[in-house]
Amino acid sequence: MPVSQTTYSLPYAHLNLRRNPFGEFSEDERTALALVDIEPIIERLNNPGYVVQFVGEKGYGKTTHLLAIRSRLSDAGYVHIPEGQRAGLPSGCPILIDEAQRLTRWQQFQVFRSNTPMVLGTHRDFKEQLRRAGRVVETIEVELRTDADRLHRLLNARIQWVRRGDGRVPSITLPTADNLLKEFGPNIRGILHQLYTAFQNLNEIADL
């Protein structure tokens, strides 16, 4: 049955998509699409005193890891500290703190010296402070967790998420994912911005 002209007038209908797959996604969508290996971390978060810190620059995937962990642990307490603002420490076990480099000194003292398992997303490496507080620390550099294969799967998962119906949709090839990684490094946010612009101007379904 032919697709009506009305259908084609809808944004991204010509690509068989509901919206640009590289625009802003909600926390729930980002959690559902997280392609991260957190199983070993989930197990270790049962140990009092354990801390895992995801260290990296903005847009490298720290928040994605924290959201994925939060989705698995119903008793976890989560807080994101906005830039230039303060936020209270969450209750729960474990405690998850996103943008932990924005903790005040007093908050660092409080939470680092507690015995509650903790997950940090941070630009700053707190390993020495945590060890002095008696913590068992694992540091994960998020930039080392992104390779071309993972990026390829992540980008195409976003496209599939906004699929409008049966039939073909655009796709990102593995060589393209590899080239994007060479150009942007592990800056996932920068890659998404580049592809957002590309999809804004994409006139037909194609493999990019």
* Shared domain check, 173 and 136: no
Last residue of a domain, one of 99, 127, 144: 144
Token code pair at residue 101: 């480099």
pLDDT of residue 2: 46
pLDDT in tens, 6-20: 445 578 999 999 999
C-alpha count within 13 angstroms, C-beta hemisphere, residue 53 = 22
Q: Specify whether 132 is located in the same domain as 193.
A: no
Q: Are residues 127 and 175 in the same domain?
A: no
Asked if residue 127 belongs to a domain, the reply is: yes
Instruction: Provide the sign of the torsion angle of the four alpha carbons 200, 177, 28, 126, taken in this order.
Output: negative
Residues 60 and 70 in one domain: yes
Based on the fold, state whether residues 100 and 112 are members of the same structural domain. yes
Which CATH number fits the domain that encloses residue 129? 3.40.50.300
Mark whether 81 and 97 lie in a shared domain. Answer: yes
Question: CB within 8 A of 13, min separation 6: which ones?
Answer: 3, 7, 164
Domain shared by 82 and 126, yes or no: yes
Residue 34: per-residue pLDDT: 83
- What is the value of pTM for the model shown? 0.79
Q: Are strands 95-98 and 118-122 parallel, antiparallel or unpaired?
A: parallel
Report pLDDT for 27: 83
Domain that holds residue 115: 45-144
Q: Which of these three, 108, 124, 144, is where a domain ends?
A: 144
pLDDT, residue 9, reads 58
Among residues 109, 111, 128, the alpha carbon closest in space to that of 120 is found at: 111
How many structural domains are present in the chain? Answer: 2
Does residue 61 sit within a domain?
Answer: yes
- Of 123, 144, 165, the position where a domain reaches its end is 144
What residue ranges of the chain have pLDDT lower than 50? 1-7
Residue 3: what pLDDT? 47
